[in-house]
Chain A
Amino acid sequence: DVKVTQSSRYLVKRTGEKVFLECVQDMDHENMFWYRQDPGLGLRLIYFSYDVKMKEKGDIPEGYSVSREKKERFSLILESASTNQTSMYLCASSPAGRGAHSYGYTFGSGTRLTVV
């Protein structure tokens, strides 16, 4: 069974901490994505990566950075966590080319992050 695994289901961090959210996929997908999900706003794209060490900003990259050192792993980094970053974070992956267009994404189960 193919999977996207997010390391934590729930996380509580203090304001100002550096936070790492980890995502691993076992499908050899080229593309990986980080979204945040907030009530009434749906899912918004933070960053995505189309290859190892390659990344592009999404719609709301401010306050975040990412790292992709290996194809299967995509990390989201909150450099200095703030209370307005309290949210659900979803990681996803997709194959390149027509695979993405045809089958959409495979999602992880999400990390609910609370910044206090």
Chain B
Amino acid sequence: AQTVTQSQPEMSVQEAETVTLSCTYDTSENNYYLFWYKQPPSRQMILVIRQEAYKQQNATENRFSVNFQKAAKSFSLKISDSQLGDTAMYFCAFMKLSGNTGKLIFGQGTTLQVKP
């Protein structure tokens, strides 16, 4: 069975600085997708970034980028130029391809506090 581990329950960063959130996963699959979701205090889960396992190039979305190390089964999220609005809980998630239904398996979450 696949598992996703986020070993940092809480992190903080000063506004405008860079922070990296860690995520590791365990799978025997070769083809899968990885996601980072953000959950602000409003509770609405927002997709931040996604990575296809067969692509070697790391995904980037504006200030958000990932460091995907397939052999190490590591998928960290880097937030550059942190903003107060980045304060949220962040979840790493794994999706195995299974017919027409992809099930997301989530990590425990990391609460990020951006300080002014």
Contacts and interface: CB of A to CB of B under 8 A. Distances in A.
Interface string A20-56: 0000000000110101000011111100101000000
Contacts of B42: 109
B108 A109 contact: no
B91 interface: yes
Interface stretch (A61-69, A75-83, A89-97): A89-97
B47 interface: yes
B48 to A, nearest CB: 10
B33 interface: yes
Size category, B interface? 20 to 34
Interface residues of A, number: 28
A78 to B, nearest CB: 20
Q: Taking each of B4, B102, B103, which has the highest tally of chain A beta carbons within 10 Å of its own beta carbon?
A: B102
Interface string B73-116: 00000000000000000010101010011111111110000000
Interface of B: 4, 6, 9, 33, 35, 37, 42-45, 47, 50, 91, 93, 95, 97, 100-109
29 contacts: A31-B100, A31-B101, A35-B106, A40-B9, A41-B108, A42-B91, A42-B106, A42-B108, A43-B91, A43-B106, A45-B103, A48-B101, A50-B101, A58-B103, A88-B43, A90-B45, A92-B104, A100-B101, A101-B97, A101-B102, A104-B35, A104-B37, A104-B47, A104-B50, A104-B93, A105-B45, A107-B45, A109-B43, A110-B43
